[in-house]
Amino acid sequence: MATITDVSKDLERLTVFISNLTPYSDDVLSKQIVGNWSIQDIISHIMGWDKNFIKTLDQIINNDEVKLEEHHDVQAFNEGSVIFGRKMKPHDLLKEAITQREQLILKLNMVSESAFIRQFHNSTYTLETFLQEMFIGHDKHHEEQIMKYLQTVK
């Protein structure tokens, strides 16, 4: 079982990954690489989930009732996140995505250890398992897609 510190470090890896994208041109960041998504779109998609989950962490911190589950309309949520990100300059989006992930980690570190490991009502998840599956595993999936494309750019 991972601790909040362990999970925070795993989540923080994404900020380093995104920072490593800053040397690339806007053209590289905005070129479609997976379906009709670009690197910019992928990062915006991840940022959307981070922004959304910060609200959930606030609820957990406030001891409000929370149900940890996948969003009821993932497709629409993803499309909204991508549309939001396309309104930003690619490098501004990278900075904002780093800020949002840092905020998520900050909030996570305000959660009690007991809330981190307890099974949530009407959910198969603990906060730890939810973050491992829905965020850390998700980050790795998209990092691999981006790295595969960037290897063809050099």
**Residues of the chain below pLDDT 50:** none
Which residue has 């800020």 as its token pair? 99
Domain ranges of the chain: 4-153
pLDDT at 71: 77
Q: Could you tell me the CA-to-CA distances from 101 to 66, 95, 105, 123 in Å, in that order?
A: 21, 10, 6, 24
CATH 1.20.120.450 describes domain 4-153 = yes
Q: What is the pLDDT of residue 120?
A: 85
